Amino acid sequence: AVVSTQSTGEELDAFVETLNADQKRIYHKVTQAVEHMFDHESGACTEEQCKKPLRLYISGFGGTGKSYLIKAIVGFLYVQRNVFKEKADLMLVAPTGLAASG
């Protein structure tokens, strides 16, 4: 399965199914936080205490699937922006140049 910046919802769903249990747990935590952010934007949720941004640090040895997970999250945000017309922006940062180029 491949997800790219041209993904549809169906392609994304198929890609997410290939994530391992830990990757899925983090993916769902991120996607739930983003969907909740959309609820705030639309006025569906007005609770102030849950308006805090989600900040995650994803770490692991080489080959543990960090980039694969990030690809799934980027695909989710692409679909939200381009299919559902949501304001879904993303900033990826890395502590080293080597990590940033991966």
User: Distance between CA 31 and CA 54 in Å, rounded?
Assistant: 10
pTM above 0.85, yes or no: no
Q: What is the pLDDT of residues 38-72, one digit of tens each?
A: 777 777 777 776 767 788 888 888 889 998 998 99
- Decide: 15 and 2 in contact? Cβ < 8 Å: yes
Residue the block writes with tokens 């249990």:
21
Say how many C-beta atoms besides its own lie within 10 A of residue 19's C-beta: 19
Q: What is the pLDDT of residues 66-77, one digit of tens each?
A: 989 989 998 888
Q: List CB contacts of 41: < 8 A, sequence separation 6 or more.
A: 86, 87
**What are the Cα distances from residue 16, in Å, to 37, 38, 97?**
21, 21, 27
DSSP class of residue 95 equals: S
Residue 80 identity: Q
The residue with greater pLDDT, 84 or 38, is: 38
